[in-house]
Amino acid sequence: MTTITSAPASASTPARPTRPAYKVTGPRVLRSEWAKLWSLRSTWIALGLGVLFLVAFGLIAAARYKSVITSGQRLDPDWADSTAVSLSLFGTGPAQLALGVLGVLVSAGEYTTGMVRSTLAAVPRRLPVLWSKSAVFGLIALVAATVSVVVTFLIASGIVSGTRAAMTISDPGVVRCLLGAGLYLGLVGVIGVALGAVLRSVAGGIAVLVGALMLVPGLISLLPSSWQDNIGPYLPSNAGQSMFALTHDATSLSPTAGLVAFVGWTVLALAGAAYRLVRTDA
Amino acid sequence: MIEAHQLTKRYGEKMAVDRLDFAVRPGTVTGFLGPNGSGKSTTMRMIIGLDAPTSGTVSVNGRRYAQHGAPLQEVGTLLEAKSVHPGRSAYNHLLAQAYTHGIPRRRVDEVIELTGLQAVATKRAGKFSLGMGQRLGIAAALLGDPATVMLDEPVNGLDPEGVLWIRNLLTGLAAEGRTVFVSSHLMSEMALVATHLIVVGRGRLLADTTVQDLVRDAGGDTVQVASADPGRLREILAGPGIEITGRAGSEELRVTGMSARAIGLRAAEHGIALFELTARTVSLEEAFMDLTRDAVEYHGTTAAGATIERAA
């Protein structure tokens, strides 16, 4: 222990002739959540990782494509349909993990550390906390992801210019894809926040997040094919992919339908989080 | 002012808090006393709405805690369980709490100074010692300049100087006219700060009384006298407010309401020889043990060589 000052209690505050008029308001809760987010090291690390994944994977994919083309080797069939957009969005998969996990940490981290007791003592109506956390983190993830994919595209399209994959930002669908990817990652962050609030456990939240985004599409292939065609496109990962895919076939949703479906999943997760937050003891 | 009416919390079969009725009034320090596991922490959690009562109500300054526009200004709370993110600095923790209410930075600095945390304010709270963590919790409790201060086991982990500091703080806060509600399982600690006591055991209200009354009700300040003629002694000592008990055939009497000195003088006046004159003051600790003996949930059994204890 360091210095201890035995300050007399009377130094705290004078008896209350004029009490300052404090009040909890929506914007103030937002500001508090904003300050909470940036005052933790994990935010900077996870956000940095998300940005790094988006930029590095996109640029590496573009550079590899370019080097294969220029060396005259045969392209893998998987790469044959590549465009500057699909190459620069290569990092979406790992980035969704980084941002989704950070979302889980934002909410579930409060339960595992006990911080939630302070949070709910300050905002006992509770729901403003969930809305603020979702809004603050969703917005930050959206902005970071959008800026990252736009920058990546601008560099990657330069790398692959002159190849079959070449595209410019003014080509039809490009801006929609890039914004779609940013929006998707922002919503993944919100889903992470909601899952963390539903499960109140960092490990559980991450497990469900990874399961929903990465394992369920694999499991669905076990179902009869007619089911697959009906359910598959609406799964979070597939609906999300429709938001930032340049081309769509019969088995995938249109970008708008994908957005609607993915927002639906987000709302569902938030509704579960709100229910649990209001109904269960903290 | 905190008022509980038939406040009840049940976890499955177990009644954690069982139909509690009490009021905590401003201007004094009210001790909330009970053995481990008697429902003190659960009651405090219900007061600030972290736990919902199974039945009954509890209000703060006339309203449920959550219905106040500025809850931190109504009740400042230190809970027993850790309520801080270990990765955030003390300053940022307090600042984030302050933002929700529009409390100015100046007030954050004030409570940091008041709790003596200046030197460690920018360190991560996870690195704090138990005592420093406790001071941070108290700083957070005082942040909103609350009308009611509620502290759960505040002296836990504090060194003697820290304990003294808490005592002065609590009496100072009460002197300013605030409601001060402090829990402890240590009667000796309570006796030094509290004037009013709410004693619980197994979730039930055992006593809602003052420190003096508790001692008196527990048979405190009894004087044991013995003489050759207890019948005559009884006659000369009798008077209003004086209670005398004794067994037939015994030389001994137990007198309450009269000091040993007064008894000796009265007996001398009447020429009665006393064989014994012993003042028996029950300590607060004994009074508390008497009160809660049947309500202690987790008895230590030396015979079995094991002491089982559970956090409240």
- Look up the ipTM and state it: 0.87
Closest-CA distance, B172 to chain A, in angstroms, reads 5
Closest-CA distance, A75 to chain B, in angstroms, reads 48
- Kindly list the residues from chain A whose CB atom is less than 8 angstroms away from the CB atom of residue B168: 6, 8-9
The nearest alpha carbon in chain A to B71 belongs to A122
Q: What is the distance of C-alpha B208 from the center of its chain? A: 11
Banded pLDDT at A17 (limits 50, 70, 90)? low
Do A159 and A62 form a contact (C-beta atoms < 8 A)? yes
Q: Do A122 and B101 touch (CB under 8 A)?
A: yes
- Kindly list the residues from chain A whose CB atom is less than 8 angstroms away from the CB atom of residue B85: 36, 40, 109-110, 113, 115
Do B255 and B242 form a contact (C-beta atoms < 8 A)? yes
Asked whether the domain spanning B221-280 has the same topology as the one spanning B2-215, the reply is no
Closest-CA distance, A189 to chain B, in angstroms, reads 21
- The pLDDT of residue A73 is 76
- Once rounded to an integer, what is the mean pLDDT over residues A3-11? 43
Q: Do A113 and B82 touch (CB under 8 A)?
A: yes
- pLDDT higher for B292 or B112? B112
In the predicted structure, residue B310 carries a pLDDT above the cut 60 = no
Long-range contacts of A78-83 (CB under 8 A, 24+ apart): A82/A165, A83/A165, A83/A167, A83/A246
- Kindly list the residues from chain A whose CB atom is less than 8 angstroms away from the CB atom of residue B52: 281
- Once rounded to an integer, what is the mean pLDDT over residues B202-216? 85
The nearest alpha carbon in chain A to B122 belongs to A39
- Once rounded to an integer, what is the mean pLDDT over residues B18-44? 93
Q: Do A118 and B173 touch (CB under 8 A)?
A: no
Task: Compute the distance between CA of residue B76 and CA of residue B82 in angstroms, rounded to an integer.
Answer: 15
Closest-CA distance, B252 to chain A, in angstroms, reads 50
- Kindly list the residues from chain A whose CB atom is less than 8 angstroms away from the CB atom of residue B163: none
Q: Which B positions 52-111 lie with beta carbon below 8 A of chain A?
A: 52, 65-66, 68-73, 77, 79, 81-89, 92-93, 95-97, 99-103, 110
pLDDT digits (tens, 9 = 90+) for A207-226: 999 999 888 877 877 888 87
Banded pLDDT at A70 (limits 50, 70, 90)? confident
pLDDT digits (tens, 9 = 90+) for A116-149: 999 999 999 999 999 999 999 999 999 999 999 9
Number of H helices and E strands in chain A, helices first, is 13, 0
Q: Do B66 and A124 touch (CB under 8 A)?
A: yes
Closest-CA distance, A17 to chain B, in angstroms, reads 11
Task: Compute the distance between CA of residue B59 and CA of residue B22 in angstroms, rounded to an integer.
Answer: 11
Class of B2-215 in CATH: alpha beta
In the predicted structure, residue A8 carries a pLDDT above the cut 50 = no
- The pLDDT of residue A265 is 95
The nearest alpha carbon in chain A to B93 belongs to A36
Do B292 and B252 form a contact (C-beta atoms < 8 A)? no
Q: Do A20 and B145 touch (CB under 8 A)?
A: yes
Handedness of CA B36, B37, B38, B43 (dihedral sign): positive
Handedness of CA A113, A115, A117, A123 (dihedral sign): negative
Whether B49 has its CB under 8 Å from any CB of chain A: the answer is: yes
Q: Do A39 and B89 touch (CB under 8 A)?
A: yes
Say which range, A128-137, B75-84, B122-131, B293-302, has the weakest mean pLDDT.
Answer: B293-302
CATH number belonging to domain B221-280: 3.30.70
Whether B252 has its CB under 8 Å from any CB of chain A: the answer is: no
- Once rounded to an integer, what is the mean pLDDT over residues B254-263? 85
- The pLDDT of residue B261 is 87
pLDDT digits (tens, 9 = 90+) for B131-147: 899 999 999 999 999 99
The nearest alpha carbon in chain B to A16 belongs to B176
Shortest CB distance from B85 goes to which of A16, A109, A121?
Answer: A109
DSSP three-state, residue A182? helix
Q: Do A14 and B168 touch (CB under 8 A)?
A: no
As given in the structure block, the two tokens for residue B146 are: 């609350």
Q: Which of A19, A115, A276 to mutate to test the interface with B (most CBs of B within 10 A)?
A: A115
- Total Cβ atoms within 10 A of residue A260: 15
The domain segmentation of chain B, as residue ranges, is 2-215, 221-280
